Every structure is written in C-alpha cells, then in structure tokens.
Chain A
Amino acid sequence: EYEEKTGQAHRPLSPKQNVRKNLDFEPLSTTALILEDRPANLPAKPAEEAQKHRQQYEEMVVQAKKRELKEAQKRKKQLEERCKLEDSIGNAVLTWNNEILPNWETMCCSRKVRELWWQGIPPSVRGKVWSLAIGNELNITHELYDICLARAKEKWRSLSTGGAEVECEDAGFSAADREASLELIKLDISRTFPNLCIFQQGGPYHDTLHSILGAYTCYRPDVGYVQGMSFIAAVLILNLDTADAFIAFSNLLNKPCQMAFFRVDHGLMLTYFAAFEVFFEENLPKLFAHFKKNNLTPDIYLIDWIFTLYSKSLPLDLACRVWDVFCRDGEEFLFRTALGILKLFEDILTKMDFIHIAQFLTKLPEDLPSEEFFTSIAAIQMQSRNKKWAQVKRMLIFDNR
C-alpha cells in the first residue's frame, strides 16, 4: 500500500484525481488538503496516519452533509410556516368578514373572537374592526367632518392672508396659542413617520393628515392640537378612509385616558401612573425596586408611549397589533403593554442606571421580536390582590379626593 501511494505521488495530479473519484461531491479546497500526500521532499505519511486522516475527513464530510440537510429542512419548515401563516391570515380574513363583522354586537365579546383578536387583526379588516370597537359615542357624521374641515380651511386662509379676525369662540387658550398650534400642525405633519415618506409635503397623505388635525382643532377647540396627535391620526389614516379616520380619531381622543393626557391634567395623569405602579410592583417586583432606587418615575417613559399609543416607539406593525388589543381591552392594555416591554427587557434594565434606562426606554430597539414581545405582554397579570385595573384606578382617584 505504501509503495503504491508513493508511486502515485510521483505522477502529477493523481492524488487529487484519486480523491475526487472516490467522493461524490467537491470538497472545499482546505479540507481536500487533508488527503494530499506530503510533498516529495518530506518523509511520506505513515499508512496509519493516512488512514486516520481519511477517516477524519470522511467524518467531516458526513457532518457537513448533515448540516446541509438540516438547513434545507429548516428552510422548508420556514416556508411551510410562512404558507401556514398566510393561510391563517387568509382564513382569519374570511372569519372576520363572513362571521364576525356581520354579527358584531353578539360576537365581539365571545371567547373565540377575543382569541382571534389577540393574534392580530388582518390588515384588510383592521380599519373596520377598529372603527366598530372604538365606536362613535360622539355621533359624528361625515357632514360634521366636512363642516369642521371647512372651518379649519377658513382659519388657515385668514391666517395666511394676515387677517386678525379669527373666531374667538375657542375656549381656554389664548389666540396666540391657537395660531401657534395651527402653525405647529404644519411643521409636525412632515415630522410624522418621516421614514414612510407619505405624510411629507407632496406625499399622498400629507393633505389628509393636515385636514384631520385641522378639523379636530375646530371640533374640539378646548383640546386643540397637541404634539403626539399627528401620530395617532396617521395610524388611523393608514387603515381608514378620511372621514372615518376623523370619527375614530375624535372618539379615541375622547376616552378618559387620552383626554387626561392630551389636556395634560396632572392630577389624573399621576393617578394613571400610580395605578400603573401598583401593577408594576405586582408583576415585576425586582425591577420595580430597581426603578425606585434609581428614582425612575413612570412619567419618564410612559408619557411618550401613552401620548402616541406606541406608534412612535414601536415598529409600526407591532404598534398596530398593540392597537388591535387596545381596541379590545381598552386603556388597561396600554399599561399592560408597558409592563410587557419592561418584562421583556428586565435583565438588561436591572443592570442600567437612571439615564441609561431612560434613554433605552425612549428609544426601544428597532428589531423587537414580535412573538416574544406578545408572549411577554401575555404573561402580565392585570390583577392586583383580586383587584382589576379599573378598580385600582377608581380607588386611587377616590384617595386623591
């Protein structure tokens, strides 16, 4: 055998050829080297060693094949999962359209629907579901929207022509504040989801966003325009027609939590923060203690999250899923989401000091894993000593009085 080997080595190229013949696929050049005989000027490999090397090499090839097979299986599985997901979205669309939406009143609270709801509403029916869930307590009609919009346009005209005769029916805020807020809407529109490039000047939804925000300041001059609103309106515009978006927008902002925040009612905001802290301590006692020790009050991160309903701080698709369940469960879900975020990042946060926590929470990582994120929210119990969110809040409001 040894003779044979050394004999072969004298013929150029033969070892390689030999190797290639025996193997049914091309080895990488580095692994092939293992099978090369030593150069002629060095003593030849002992047969034993050559055998060992061949064996090792074959093992490597087997491993590599296994790995490749595994990868292929994984890819296949991913593809299957994607198909399954697409199928399930397709099925969900059918269920929503054919079964749930026509029987909204009777079905919306059923367990089956609630479960389907948690999975995320398919984008094609999302707007409809949001509209129904938010409701129209204020009885706003499309005509009322047109009237408010016409009034807003009048104001803009009188502002741009320098006419000082701005109607003075607006209660509570100075004329300067109102003018500034109309001006501010213009500036803020281009700063709303700037990466999407659809709300900027010249973008397809620029005027729509402008109209809805302007109409709202005429509809609710006592609230006016507050920074953060442009994000809420934008998310609605992405899912609803203009007038319906306005109706949902006005009704959404009319909810107690949103009213408290957008009117910057400090007393009420503090009540919300206090209620949040009750559940924070209950669910994440260690992190709660760490935050307390660092003087990290909830206002520092909650203000941004609540004002924009997470649309600014979470990736848009995740934010929409949070909105889905927010429409189902109401304000408590906003605070449950906050606790879900804190839980998801608990390990990192416990190692940070005040300013780094604040920095982290106001600039959440962009690649938030959606399934882990919702698992983390699901793990949050909105029950504290047998008391639910609404009860805790009510007690705190009572205490404040």
Chain B
Amino acid sequence: AVTAGGAGGAPRDSPEASLDPDHLYNVLFIGDSHVGKTSFLYRLHADTFNPHLTATVGLDYQVKNLVVDNKRFALRLWDSAGQERYHSITKQFFRKADGVVLMYDITSEYSFSDVQYWLSCIQEGAEDGVPILLLGNKTDCAAERQVPVKEGERLAKEHQLMFYECSAASGHNVSESMVGLVRLLKVHEDKLKNKAEEVPKPPQKKKGCCW
C-alpha cells in the first residue's frame, strides 16, 4: 500500500521520511526544452503550478522524500537544461543516475520524436538496464494534443519503459508516476543485489585479468 500520497493525493514530506531513508536514488530528468521538467519538479515539491519558472541553465537539484509501501525513499532529482548545446553537460551525469525520467510534451510532436534521440543518449551514457520512466506532460492542454496516448504507449512497450501521461499544471499523475518510478527503482535495486549475491566473485576476477 502507498502510505503517503495514495491514489490522487500528492505525497507529502513527512519528517519520518526525511530522516534516514531506507533507499536513496538519483533520478535524472531529461527531455527537450520547454516540455515541463522544471514545472513537474515544482509541482512535486510545492504541489502547485508555477507559471513563472525560468529556463533551466545547466542543472538544478531537488530532494524529495517519499514513503511508499511502508519504506522511506529519498529521491535526489536532477533537473537538466533541454537545449541541445547543454547535452554534453547533462551527459556527464547519466552515469550517476539510478533512474531516468524522460519527458516529452503531448502538444509537441517534435519533442516526442526527440525521445528516440534521448533514448540513445541513455543507452550511451547510463548504466545498462537503468529504469526509465517515459512521461507525456501537459494533459491539461487536451485541445492542442499532437501525440496520441497510443503512440506513447507503443513507444514505451517497444523500449520497455514505464509510461504515464501527466500534467504539471493540474497535478494529474504527478505523484502517481513518481510512486511508480520508486517501485520500479526498488525492484531494479533488489535485482542488482540478488545478482551480486548469486555470483559473488567471478566477474571481479575476470575484470582483474582483463585489465
């Protein structure tokens, strides 16, 4: 069960959650400029929409504490600048990411077609099999929609991504998608741990003689 922020409600920071989390994950937010990465993070943090946000230059940082399934999670959220020129800066942070949120704007076909490009960046820079959440933002602008839900779903299925559509403006699916991502990150972490326990030494040895 989701303790904080069940269906619909935004997960609030409870003091217990911030003290000594059970799990800590670095999550990198990427996607084209102006798709709403910073607005999403603002909504997550303050539970309101701020229409007066400035363009991100370089990287921004935010902490979010969540209690999911009775466990305390601390998320370190890395917000990146969308412009292509900054990608070389963003790429340096891929390796440190435990999870990636790849966002596009459902009212911009262009931002959706760039998802492929971003996926190749992840493949290039991040750890293999890093959990990815594909987010189609701005569901509140239904009249201007250019990317059908089906398209997002199809792409997510093809690349095995978790998928949500959301709206930073209305709050729709903001906390839900984060809770989903946290669960995914937890499963991934457990998998990695099990793997490490199953084959404790050989990979290291192998590495040793290769070097």
- A residues sitting closer than 8 Å to B (CB atoms) are 177, 180-181, 184, 187-188, 191-195, 224, 226-228, 230-231, 264, 266, 299-300, 303-304, 307-308, 312, 354-356, 358-359, 362-363
Contact = CB atoms under 8 A, between A and B. Distances in A.
Interface residues of B, number: 24
A287 B52 CA distance: 33
27 contacts: A181-B83, A184-B34, A184-B83, A187-B34, A192-B54, A192-B55, A193-B54, A194-B52, A226-B83, A227-B33, A227-B83, A227-B85, A227-B86, A228-B57, A264-B85, A264-B86, A299-B58, A300-B59, A300-B61, A303-B57, A304-B57, A355-B62, A355-B63, A356-B63, A359-B62, A362-B61, A363-B60
Nearest to B75: A355
A217 B88 CA distance: 21
Given A191-B53, A227-B83, A266 B88 contact: yes
Interface in B26-69: 33-34, 51-63
A308 B33 CA distance: 17
Given A227-B57, A303-B59, A359-B61, 6 more contacts: A193-B54, A228-B57, A303-B58, A355-B76, A359-B62, A362-B59
B54 A194 contact: yes
B109 interface: no
A22 B46 CA distance: 57
Interface string B82-119: 11111011000000000000000000000000000000
A303 B53 CA distance: 18
B81 interface: yes
Contacts of A177: 84
Nearest to A193: B54
A66 to B, nearest CB: 43
Contacts, number: 74
Given A355-B76, A359-B62, A312 B86 contact: no
A358 to B, nearest CB: 4
A299 B89 contact: yes
B109 to A, nearest CB: 13
A228 B82 CA distance: 12
B57 A308 contact: yes
Given A177-B84, A184-B33, A264-B89, A312 B53 contact: no
Nearest to A307: B57
B60 A264 contact: no
B156 to A, nearest CB: 25
Q: Across the A-B interface, give the 6 residue pairs with the lowest CB-CB distance, nearest first.
A: A303-B58, A358-B61, A194-B52, A228-B57, A355-B76, A227-B83
B64 to A, nearest CB: 10
Contacts of B57: 227-228, 303-304, 307-308, 312
Contacts of A187: 33-34
Given A266-B88, A356-B63, A188 B58 contact: no
Contact of A355 (B52, B55, B56, B61): B61
Contacts of B81: 227
Given A184-B83, A191-B54, A191-B55, A264 B61 contact: no
A303 B89 contact: yes
A264 B88 contact: yes
